[in-house]
């Protein structure tokens, strides 16, 4: 069984702010913001939703390919993927654009502010998912707007079930488009804040999403996650992290666990446990693709 990961590839420029964002904001002046957060240190990491998801998938032994676009500065990222045995055959390089760039600032309460330049990812729609009978699962994660729509339609035409993970790309779409993604998906995954936004935009509740044998997953950081089906609701505890370093990318690691679990017909409880442990493992490392899969995760596979 093979999965296809559709989404963004980006360079993450990660900064840590040693204070709290809220201490620099005046509530009555939120419509007139002019603030600067001094961040002494910065790291540049390989990232993007598709990049992070497939890194975790391949690391835990899944057969997966990724669909996405990079820019003229793609060389180091492509070398990194090849070093980690990740297939790069369906990564298109756009020579007059930069690879997408994210500037992610995290305060000491783990709140994040992200500025994102899409760059080459806006050309993702130019890449076609290979019509390969071995592909049995897809994921639509944040990417260029046209790419997300095109790749969803291709999976529908191929009769390949997919996970819909709109993430921070949700504001690009209107109600009808979000309903299109959701109604044709087999699984829908969002964090708590994203689902509240989704509910406001579509009017869909969890009960609406899970009709016709769909599964909905809502993650909520330290509060754990919930998995909804027509027959049950599971509460998945967050795996304890003794030495948290960087939350960036933990949601993508969680989604890789979901993909692996679906591909291997794992029970929902075990999918939740694997996903939670992958997310926690990522939090213990700086960057989104620097963690190593340990024995505690391998024994779940």
Structural domain of 73: 2-9+48-97+122-298
pLDDT at 81: 97
Strand partners, 213: none
The string of DSSP letters for 146-197 reads HHHHHHHHHHHHTT--EEE--GGGGGGS-HHHHHHHHHH-SEEEEEHHHHHH
Convert the pLDDT of each residue in 78-127 to its tens digit.
999 999 999 999 999 999 999 999 898 989 888 888 888 999 999 999 99
**Which pTM does this prediction carry?**
0.90
Residue 251 clears pLDDT 90, i.e. is over it = yes
Name the DSSP letter for residue 240.
Answer: P
Torsions phi, psi for 171 (to 5 deg): -60, -15
Q: How far is CA 11 from the centre of its chain?
A: 14
Q: For residue 77, which of 60, 100, 61 has the smallest C-alpha distance?
A: 100
Q: Are 27 and 161 in contact (CB under 8 A)?
A: no
Q: Which two tokens stand for residue 263?
A: 């591909």
Contacts of 264 (CB under 8 A, 6+ apart): 1, 301
Convert the pLDDT of each residue in 211-233 to its tens digit.
989 999 999 988 899 999 999 99
Is 278 within the bounds of a domain?
yes
pLDDT at 26: 77
Instruction: Give buried/exposed letters for 73-82 (b at 16+ CB in 10 A, else e).
Output: ebeebbebbe
Is 14 within the bounds of a domain?
no
CATH assignment at residue 55: 3.40.1190.20
Strand partners, 112: 106
pLDDT at 30: 76
Is 198 within the bounds of a domain?
yes
Is 147 within the bounds of a domain?
yes
Q: How far is CA 121 from the centre of its chain?
A: 15
Rounded CA separation 167/142 (Å): 6
The string of DSSP letters for 87-111 reads --TTEEE-TTSPPEEEEEEE-TTS-
pLDDT at 71: 97
Give the number of domains in the chain.
Answer: 1
Name the DSSP letter for residue 122.
Answer: G
* Residue with token string 């990049």: 51
Is 179 within the bounds of a domain?
yes
What is the dihedral angle through the alpha carbons of 39, 41, 43, 48, rounded to the nearest 10 degrees?
A: -20
Rounded CA separation 143/10 (Å): 10
Rounded CA separation 78/100 (Å): 14
Res. 300 pLDDT band, cuts 50 70 90: confident
Is 292 within the bounds of a domain?
yes
Axis-axis angle for helices 250-263, 49-59 (nearest 10): 50
* Residue with token string 């899944």: 62
Instruction: Give buried/exposed letters for 226-252 (b at 16+ CB in 10 A, else e).
Output: bbbeeeeebebebbebeeeebbbbbbb
Is 206 within the bounds of a domain?
yes
Is 22 within the bounds of a domain?
no
């Amino acid at each position: 069984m093979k999965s296809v990961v559709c989404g963004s590839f980006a360079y993450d420029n990660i900064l840590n702010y040693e204070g709290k964002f809220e201490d620099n904001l005046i509530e009555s002046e939120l419509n007139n913001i002019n603030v600067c957060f001094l961040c002494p240190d910065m790291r540049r990491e390989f990232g993007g939703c598709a990049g992070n998801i497939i890194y975790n998938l391949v690391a835990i032994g899944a057969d997966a390919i990724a669909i996405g676009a990079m820019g003229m500065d793609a060389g180091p990222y492509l070398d990194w993927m090849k070093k980690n045995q990740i297939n790069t055959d369906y990564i298109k390089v756009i020579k007059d654009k930069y690879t997408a760039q994210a500037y992610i600032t995290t305060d000491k309460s783990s709140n994040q502010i992200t500025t994102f330049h899409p760059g080459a990812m806006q050309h993702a729609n130019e890449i076609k998912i290979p019509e390969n009978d071995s592909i049995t699962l897809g994921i639509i994660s944040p990417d260029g707007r046209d790419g997300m729509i095109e790749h969803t339609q291709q999976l529908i035409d191929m009769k390949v079930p997919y996970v819909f993970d709109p993430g921070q790309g949700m504001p690009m779409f209107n109600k009808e488009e979000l309903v299109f993604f959701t109604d044709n998906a087999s699984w829908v995954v969002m964090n708590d804040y994203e689902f509240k936004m989704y509910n406001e935009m579509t009017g869909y509740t969890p009960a609406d999403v899970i009709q016709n044998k769909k599964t909905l997953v809502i993650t909520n950081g330290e509060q754990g996650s919930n998995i909804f089906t027509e027959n049950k609701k599971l509460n998945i505890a967050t795996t304890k992290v003794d030495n948290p370093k960087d939350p960036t990318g933990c949601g993508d690691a969680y989604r890789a666990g979901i993909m692996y679990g679906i591909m291997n017909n794992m029970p929902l409880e075990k999918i939740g446990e694997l996903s939670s442990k992958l997310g926690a493992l990522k939090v213990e490392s700086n960057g989104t693709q620097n963690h190593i899969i340990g024995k505690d995760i391998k024994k779940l596979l």
